[in-house]
């Protein structure tokens, strides 16, 4: 990007929010080669501020406040939107401000106009107005009319999983991963996000004990270092009837997915990683903001969506179908691989660069 454009990312992670917003912003920051990227993040419990700094980016650390923002996700902000805007503005003027936060909307974005030449919004919900120059919504099935009345009519929109912000290693392993699909079920990967606040991982392990998994299936469980149920899950993993390994804070998720035959995972942003690699998936909706994307994945045949209740019954039924017919995994793999090729971060970075020019 010419003249080392200054780009500020406003995103948070916490035990309640999870890690996905910050992680995809980090992916985009790394794709913006030649730009001077920095972050503004609030110091929630479970924040990724130290991780962002370890990745080489400066972070303006915002203090926790007493007043909360309004709206359905207002409690995620840790301050009023007015206070947040004033604190973020302390980072100084920028060529681009990229905001990825469900608690912020057109009011905050409008207040930030004097401090940013251009504003980009990363959203998944299409449920509130935005004042921006570029908007990204990577959900499957998202249409321009979903944002009618929420952005100016001429606002450029980047819509769909072709713009999903995936780290480059997923696209790099895509051919290898797709080439090994079509076999049986020997390796199972379980990943419910970086936090898994409600210990769905533990529920899955408990439900699996009553399933018909073949003898000798290897299970790998991935959790983040801030997950509050690590010790309990580790104890469960040690008592599983199959070899079960707990991995914490991994940096090789693309490799793990490539080597797995089936995943059980949350229907959040990791859905696009699994799709890129054609990894068959049993997906669970862990938050309301995942429900729409999950329905679209299920409709496309790109995942089997498990119900919110009676998980043990649902898992037994799913494994019964998979083990009775090898084509189930193959069909899931083909359908999911059609969703995205994994090069979305490059496409988004190019869109920002072209707008900057």
User: Could you tell me which CATH class the domain 2-166+342-356 is placed in?
Assistant: alpha beta
Q: Which fold has domain 168-337?
A: Rossmann fold (3.40.50)
The overall average pLDDT reported for the chain is: 93
Find the mean pLDDT for residues 73-91: 94
| pLDDT digits 0-9 by tens, 215-251 | 889 999 999 888 889 999 999 999 999 999 999 989 9
% of the chain surpassing 70 pLDDT: 98
Both structure tokens of 336 = 């999911």
Confidence of residue 175 (pLDDT cuts 50, 70, 90): very high
Please calculate the CA angle 170-174-175 and round it to the nearest 5 degrees. Answer: 155
| pLDDT digits 0-9 by tens, 100-113 | 999 999 999 999 99
Distances from the Cα of 318 to the Cα of 40, 262, 281, 315, 328, angstroms: 43, 11, 11, 5, 10
Please calculate the CA angle 299-296-135 and round it to the nearest 5 degrees. Answer: 155
| pLDDT digits 0-9 by tens, 188-223 | 999 998 788 889 999 999 999 878 888 889 999 999
Asked if the model's pLDDT at residue 74 lies above 90, the reply is: no
Both structure tokens of 9 = 């990312």
Confidence of residue 123 (pLDDT cuts 50, 70, 90): very high
Going from N- to C-terminal start, the domains of the chain cover 2-166+342-356, 168-337
Asked if the model's pLDDT at residue 2 lies above 90, the reply is: no
Q: Please report where in the chains the tokens 């998994």 appear, as a residue.
A: 213
Q: Do domains 2-166+342-356 and 168-337 have the same CATH topology?
A: yes
Confidence of residue 18 (pLDDT cuts 50, 70, 90): confident
């Amino acid at each position: 990007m010419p003249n080392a454009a200054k780009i500020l990312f406003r995103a948070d992670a916490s035990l309640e929010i999870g890690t996905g917003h910050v992680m995809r912003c980090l992916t985009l920051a790394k794709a913006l080669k030649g730009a001077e990227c920095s972050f503004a993040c609030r110091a929630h419990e479970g924040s990724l501020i130290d991780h962002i700094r370890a990745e080489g980016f400066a972070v303006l650390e915002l203090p926790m406040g007493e007043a909360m923002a309004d709206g359905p996700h207002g409690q995620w902000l840790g301050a009023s939107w007015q206070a947040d805007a004033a604190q973020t503005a302390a980072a100084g003027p920028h060529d681009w401000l990229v905001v990825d936060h469900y608690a912020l909307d057109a009011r905050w974005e409008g207040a930030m106009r004097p401090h940013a030449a251009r504003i980009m919004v990363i959203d998944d919900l299409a449920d509130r107005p935005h004042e921006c120059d570029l908007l990204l919504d990577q959900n499957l099935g998202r249409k321009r009319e979903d944002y009618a009345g929420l952005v100016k009519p001429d606002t450029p929109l980047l819509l769909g999983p072709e713009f999903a912000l995936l780290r480059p290693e997923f696209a790099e392993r895509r051919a290898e991963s797709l080439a090994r699909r079509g076999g049986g079920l020997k390796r199972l990967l379980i990943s419910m996000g970086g936090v898994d606040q409600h210990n769905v991982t533990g529920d899955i392990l408990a439900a699996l004990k009553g399933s018909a998994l073949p003898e000798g299936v290897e299970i790998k469980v991935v959790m983040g270092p801030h997950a509050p149920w690590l010790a309990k899950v580790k104890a469960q993993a040690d008592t599983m009837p199959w070899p079960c390994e707990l991995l914490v804070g991994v940096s090789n998720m693309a490799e793990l997915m490539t080597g797995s035959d089936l995943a059980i995972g949350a229907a959040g942003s990791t859905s696009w990683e699994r799709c890129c690699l054609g990894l068959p998936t049993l997906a669970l909706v862990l938050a309301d903001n995942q429900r729409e994307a999950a329905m679209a994945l299920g409709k496309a045949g790109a995942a089997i969506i498990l119900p919110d209740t009676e998980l043990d019954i649902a898992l037994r039924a799913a494994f019964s179908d998979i083990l009775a017919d090898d084509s189930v995994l193959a069909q899931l793999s083909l359908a999911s691989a059609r969703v995205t090729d994994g090069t979305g971060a490059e496409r988004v970075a190019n869109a920002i660069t072209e707008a900057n020019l």
